[in-house]
Amino acid sequence: MRRRRPLAHKDASARRQGRVVVLFSLCLISLSALADSHDEIVYRRFSRTPKPTPIHYEFDMKFVELSRPAIQRDVENGNAIFTFEGLGNRRIWKLPKCPMFSEWPAFGDSLSVSGGTNVSSADTSGCVCQAEELEVNGRWKRYFGWIGSHGATVVPAEQIYLWYEYSAPSGLGFEWKRLPGGTDWGMLAPDVHLVNGKYSRKQLNPGDPLPINIRVRNRCGVAKKVVGEIYRGTASGGPALRLGVTLHVAWAPFEPRTPDRYYPRSEDFRDLQPEGQRNFKSVEEGPVLEPGESAEGATFDLRNWFSCDRPGYYSFAFEFNPAELGLDKETKFGPGVYIPFEIGKSPPKLSAEELNKTIPALGGPGVEAKLKTLIREALAHPAATEAKATGLVNSPLQWAEPINGLSARIVHFDLNGYPGLAAFVELKNLTNRDMEFPYSNGRGRGAFGFELYTKCGSQPWNRADWFAKNGRDGSSSTTNDLQRKAETVTLGPGQTALACVYGDISDQISDASHVKMWIRNYAGNGQSLWRGEIETAAWPTRPNRELLKRYAHTQPMPNYAPEFNRETQLLDNFGDESEVAGLSVYNGQLLKTFEIYSLNQLSERLDKMMQEERDLPMKLLLASEGMAAGNVDAVLFTLACMKSTDYKVAWNTQTALWLALNRYKSNPPTWLIELVKAVLSDDRCVTGSEKVGFSNDRLFRMSEMPDMEQRLIGALGDLKCTNATQFLISRARETGGNLGAVIALGELGDSKAIPVLIELVRQAGPKVKNERGSPLDGTLLRPVIALGNLKAKEAVPLLLKYIQYPDVIEALEKIGDAQAVPALEQLVASGGALKDTTLENDLELQQRRLAAAKIALASLRGRDRTLELCSLLTDPSFGQYERRAVVWRLGDKPDARAVPYLAKAVSSDPSGAVVNQAIAVLSGFRFKSAVDALIAGFDADFNGKNDWKRAYKPEMFRGNIAESLRSVTGQSLGPSKEEWQKWWQEHRNAVPGLL
C-alpha cells in the first residue's frame, strides 16, 4: 500500500455529537431544472426521496445484480430497487461491480432538516445496486437503483458519482484524488514506471528527471467531458499549469537516528518554494469519457519549478480551486493525497540500543546530578508537625463514647470507588491491656462485625443491607475479592487501627444524607476478646470541601492500617494502562483516607512500606504517595527508575509521577515539576516494548510514552505550573503545535504563551482546508482555544480572519474584546453566510456559525448579557446543543434573573441534554429562588429524555437535582421532594450566604 501523507491530523476530541433528523417530505431540488420527459414518467411511479425497502443497507453490503431488466416480482422479493416494466423500452447497463459504492451530492444539498442544518457528507453516500436505461421518444436515459442510510430510490445516473479504486492495491500505480463535479485526478510518482505491462519502482538519484504523469477519469454515472489542457510546455509559453491547479512539493532529510520506524511523518516534511511557477487561463475542454474511463492529462518534470537536488524523502500533491477550474463547488478544495518518493538511498535504521548509546538520559548530561541536589535541598528538613484539629466534639470525626474499652469513629466513607462502597472506621483501645477487636465482617459469623445504618434528612435511621444476600459474610460479587482476611485485630493500650469494609451500594445508601456504623460482637471466648456494641457518630455521605479541608493532615496515623490490595483495574477500559494505574484504582479509596493523617507520620509509614516492598509497580505506587508527602527516599527512588529505558519500568514510573502531581490542587513543588520536565525531555528510545505487544518495528522516545506524554503535559496545565511555561513554549515550537503543550499553555493562564500561540495560528490558518462535516483541524483549533482561554486581546485581529469557523467565534467570545462585535453583527445580519464565496457556506456550518455569533454577541455588546442569553433559549433556529451552550454560559456568571428561564428549561425543554445542564448550572446559583426552582424540578416529566451517561432514567435526573441542592444548601437529603420541602420551610432564612 502506498504511504500517504495526510495534510493534518484531525482531533477526534473536537468531533460534534448527535444526529440530524431528515425531513424526507421536503425535497428542494429544482424540479424545473431537472425535469425531462423521462423523469416525468419515472417519478409518476417513484418517489424522488429515499424510502424504506426490503433491501438492508450496509457499507460493505452484498447484492447480486440482475442480468435482465427488473420486474415487479424482483422488487417485491428484494432483488431490485425499481422496475420500469410497462413504462417503455428498457435495458440494463452493466455496473463495473455490484453493489458499487457511490455518492449522491444533490441529495445532501436539497434536504431541509431539523434546526435548519444540512445533512453531512456521510448521509449522501450509498450503494448503486441496479442500473437500467429507459427509452422515451427515441432517446435513452440511464437510472440507478440507489440505497443509503435513509432508504432506497431511483436516481438519474448523472446525479451519482461512482467510486473506483483510489489507490493501487500493490502500492504501485496511479493514486487518485476526487475533484468536484465527478472527475478523478490520477498521479503517478516519478520513481514508478511501467515495464512489460507491470508497474515497478526504480531508484532515483540527484539530478535524475522527475516525471509526473497525470490522468483524468470520469466517475459520473454517465459519459461527460472532463478537465482539459492541464499543462503547457515551453513550446506553448510554459512551463505552466492551468489556473486553479497548484502544485506542492515537500522534502524531509534521511534520518537514521530517529527511533520512529514510520519516519517521515507529515510534520517532518518542509515545504519547498516553487521557482517561477506560472498559471494560464484556459477554456479548452477535455475529451468525453464513459463512466470509469480515464485519459492522459499531462506529463511534466517536477524540476520545472522545484529544486529537488538533495537526497531525502519527497512528496508532492495538487491543490485545486473548483471555481477557477469551472467545477461545481460541492466540497472544500485543498491538497489531498501526498505521493511520496525518494531521491538517493535511505540509510538503514538503527536499533534502540544503538541510538541510546549517544543520547544522554533525562534530557542532557548532568541533569540527574542537578535533580538530586534540588531534591535534597528542598526536602532536607521535614515539614513542621501539623497542628491537631480542634473542635472534634459534635463533628463527624468525633470519637464514640467508649463501650467496654473500645471507641470508634468513621474517618472516610466512599461511594465512588471502583470496587463499590468503602467504609473506613478507626478503632481505639482505651483499656490498659491488649484487646482483640472486630476488624472486618467475619464470614459466616452472624452478628460479629460491622453494620451500616443510614438516614435521609429527618427520617429515622434504618439498617442498610450492604452485603449480598442480606448477610454480613462479605460474599458480594463486586467486593468478595476485597474482603480482608483478618477478622480481628489485637491492639495494645492506646493503640488505634484503621478498619476497612467494602460493600454494595443500594438505592437506600446512595440516597442517604448520613451514615453511621454499628459494631457488634457477643460471640467467642477469651478475656482479651472485646464484646459489646458501639455506635459511631453520623458521617455525611457527601461531605463538603470545607469539612475535608479542615481536617486534612491533622489526625495521628493509626498503628495499624489495611494492607494494600494487589488487584489491578484499568482506568480507561482500553487495556493501555500501566500496572501502577491499575493498582491506584483498587487502592484509591484507602489512599484517599490517608489525606486526613499527619504528613510526617504518613511519610514515615510509606517509607517503611517501600523498603519492605519487592514488587516494582506496588513500590512505585507507594513512592507516588511518598512523593506527595515529601519523602526524599520516595523521590530519589522514582528518579532512579526514570533512568531505565525498559518499557514497563518507564510506563509505571511515569504513571507514578502523574499520580504524585495530581495529589496537589495547584502549584506542585519545583522539584516535582523538574522531574516531569526531565521525563518529557528524555530523547532515549524505549526498549522492550515488543514484550508487551508492540510490533518489533515500532520505536518511540521516552518523552513520547503512549498516553503518559499527554497526561503529564496536561497536568502541568491543569495545576497552573507557571514555572513550566517556558518549557511548554519550547515544546510547542519544536513540535509545531504539540497537542498537549498547546492545550496546557491555554490552561496555565500565563500571558508569556500568547506570542507563540499567535504564531501557531499564523502558520496553521492558511493551510487548513476544512472538509464539509469535519471538525476544525487540530493544528488551528488547539492554539485558537488556548488564546481564548488566555483572553488574548492582541490575537483578535488575527482570529477575525478565520471567523468562518464557529470554534474561532467561541474563542473571540472568551477573549471578550468588543473589536470583534462589528464582524459578528455582520454574520448575524447575513444569517451566518459569508461574503467570501471561496469559503464554505453550506447550510449546516452556516447555522452553527450563526448560533455561535448570537451567543458571543450577548457577552460582547455590553448590553444586558443575562437577558440576551435568556432570550436565546427560545430562538427557533437553535437546536438542543446550541440551547445547552446558552445554559452553560448562564452558569458562568450566576444572575438571579436567569433562574426562571433555567427552571423552565428543567421543566419543559424537550432535550435531556439541556435539562440536565440546567440542573447542573443551578448548583452554582446561591439564591433562594434557585432552591425553589430545583425543588419544583422534582415534579418535571423526565420520561423519554436522556443526557448520554449522565442521565438516561427519570430517577437519575432527580438524583442530579438532589446533588445540585446539596451544592447550594450543604444538605444531603436525597431525591425526595417531600424531605427537601420540609427542610426548606424550616431553614429558608437560615442558610448562610443565600440571597
DSSP states of 946-977: -BTBTB-SHHHHHHHHHHHHHHHHS----S-H
3 state SS of 717:
helix
**Banded model confidence at residue 393, pLDDT cuts 50, 70, 90:** low
Distances from the Cα of 104 to the Cαs of 51, 221, 789, in angstroms? Answer: 15, 10, 41
Q: Report, as an integer, the average pLDDT of 837-847.
A: 70
Predicted local distance difference test score (pLDDT) of residue 569: 59
Question: Cα 917–918–924 angle (5° rounding)?
Answer: 100
pLDDT above 70: percentage of residues in the chain = 85
Predicted local distance difference test score (pLDDT) of residue 164: 87
Whose CA is closest to 969, among 922, 936, 899, 937? 922
Question: Cα 756–760–763 angle (5° rounding)?
Answer: 135
Query: Are 479 and 522 a contacting pair, CB within 8 Å?
Result: no
**Banded model confidence at residue 945, pLDDT cuts 50, 70, 90:** confident
* CA 990/CA 708 separation, integer angstroms: 48
**Banded model confidence at residue 314, pLDDT cuts 50, 70, 90:** very high
Write the DSSP symbol of residue 595. G
- Model confidence pLDDT, tens digit, residues 544-566: 667 777 888 889 999 998 888 88
DSSP secondary structure string for all residues of 834-866? -S-TTS---HHHHHHHHHHHHHHHHHHSSS-HH
In the structure grid, which three cell numbers stand for residue 379, read together?
A: 526536602
Averaged pLDDT score across all residues of the chain: 83
**Banded model confidence at residue 450, pLDDT cuts 50, 70, 90:** confident
Q: Are strands 449-455 and 312-320 parallel, antiparallel or unpaired?
A: unpaired
Predicted local distance difference test score (pLDDT) of residue 964: 93
- Model confidence pLDDT, tens digit, residues 188-235: 899 988 888 788 888 999 999 999 999 999 999 999 988 888 899 888
Predicted local distance difference test score (pLDDT) of residue 616: 94
pLDDT higher than 90, residue 974: no
pLDDT higher than 50, residue 113: no
362: left (phi over 0), alpha (psi -120 to 50) or beta: left
Q: Does domain 175-253+278-343 have CATH number 2.40.128?
A: no
Alpha carbon 545 to its chain centroid, in Å, reads 28
3 state SS of 122:
helix
Per-domain boundaries in the chain: 12-162, 175-253+278-343, 406-563, 870-995
Check whether the bond before 287 is cis (ω within 30° of 0): no
Q: Bridge partners of 429?
A: 406
* CA 748/CA 656 separation, integer angstroms: 22
Q: Report, as an integer, the average pLDDT of 697-701.
A: 74
* CA 809/CA 817 separation, integer angstroms: 12
**Banded model confidence at residue 862, pLDDT cuts 50, 70, 90:** confident
- Model confidence pLDDT, tens digit, residues 125-142: 899 999 999 999 899 999
Please tell me the least confidently modeled range out of 155-169, 254-268, 507-521: 254-268
More confident residue, 796 or 282: 796
Whose CA is closest to 994, among 938, 901, 926, 944? 926
Predicted local distance difference test score (pLDDT) of residue 4: 38
Biggest CA pair distance of the chain = 114
Predicted local distance difference test score (pLDDT) of residue 22: 30
Sign, CA torsion 437/440/444/448: positive
Predicted local distance difference test score (pLDDT) of residue 698: 66
* CA 805/CA 807 separation, integer angstroms: 5
Please tell me the least confidently modeled range out of 165-179, 749-763, 766-780, 842-856: 766-780
pLDDT higher than 70, residue 101: yes
* Cα dihedral 978, 979, 983, 986 in deg (nearest 10): 40
SS3 content of the chain, % helix, strand, coil (to 5): 35, 20, 45
- Model confidence pLDDT, tens digit, residues 880-896: 999 999 999 999 999 99
Q: Report, as an integer, the average pLDDT of 675-696.
A: 83
* CA 909/CA 880 separation, integer angstroms: 9
Q: Report, as an integer, the average pLDDT of 972-990.
A: 89
Query: Which amino acid makes up residue 579?
Result: E
Q: Report, as an integer, the average pLDDT of 38-65.
A: 86
In the structure grid, which three cell numbers stand for residue 618, read together?
A: 506496588
Q: Report, as an integer, the average pLDDT of 152-181.
A: 84
Predicted local distance difference test score (pLDDT) of residue 481: 39
Taken as a whole, the chain contains a residue count of 995
Q: Report, as an integer, the average pLDDT of 292-296.
A: 92
More confident residue, 9 or 953: 953
pLDDT higher than 90, residue 455: no
* Cα dihedral 231, 232, 234, 237 in deg (nearest 10): -140
pLDDT higher than 70, residue 90: yes
Query: Are 499 and 558 a contacting pair, CB within 8 Å?
Result: no
Whose CA is closest to 457, among 937, 988, 982? 982
Question: Cα 766–769–774 angle (5° rounding)?
Answer: 140
pLDDT higher than 80, residue 328: no
* CA 794/CA 76 separation, integer angstroms: 66
Predicted local distance difference test score (pLDDT) of residue 329: 57
Whose CA is closest to 330, among 145, 185, 187, 160? 160
pLDDT higher than 80, residue 865: yes
- Report residue 660: phi and psi, to 5°: -65, -40
Query: Are 785 and 811 a contacting pair, CB within 8 Å?
Result: yes
Please tell me the least confidently modeled range out of 128-132, 593-597, 768-772, 980-984: 768-772
Predicted local distance difference test score (pLDDT) of residue 609: 92
Alpha carbon 686 to its chain centroid, in Å, reads 26
Query: Are 439 and 406 a contacting pair, CB within 8 Å?
Result: no
Q: Report, as an integer, the average pLDDT of 740-745.
A: 87
* Cα dihedral 645, 726, 736, 739 in deg (nearest 10): 70
**Banded model confidence at residue 514, pLDDT cuts 50, 70, 90:** confident
* CA 904/CA 922 separation, integer angstroms: 12
Q: Which distant-in-sequence residues (6+ apart) come within 8 Å of 207 by Cβ? A: 309
3 state SS of 34:
helix
Alpha carbon 276 to its chain centroid, in Å, reads 44
Query: Are 852 and 820 a contacting pair, CB within 8 Å?
Result: no
More confident residue, 821 or 589: 821
Q: Which distant-in-sequence residues (6+ apart) come within 8 Å of 664 by Cβ? A: 628, 672, 719
**Banded model confidence at residue 526, pLDDT cuts 50, 70, 90:** confident
Grid cell 416525468 is found at: 40
Query: Are 318 and 335 a contacting pair, CB within 8 Å?
Result: yes
Predicted local distance difference test score (pLDDT) of residue 13: 36
Predicted local distance difference test score (pLDDT) of residue 170: 62
Q: pTM of the prediction?
A: 0.72
pLDDT higher than 50, residue 767: yes
**Banded model confidence at residue 776, pLDDT cuts 50, 70, 90:** confident
Alpha carbon 80 to its chain centroid, in Å, reads 42
Predicted local distance difference test score (pLDDT) of residue 551: 84
Q: Which distant-in-sequence residues (6+ apart) come within 8 Å of 71 by Cβ? A: 83, 85
Please tell me the least confidently modeled range out of 643-657, 694-708, 873-887, 959-973: 694-708
pLDDT higher than 80, residue 413: yes
- Model confidence pLDDT, tens digit, residues 464-498: 876 644 334 333 334 443 343 447 889 999 999 99
Whose CA is closest to 304, among 241, 227, 252, 216? 241
Predicted local distance difference test score (pLDDT) of residue 660: 93
Query: Which amino acid makes up residue 667?
Result: N
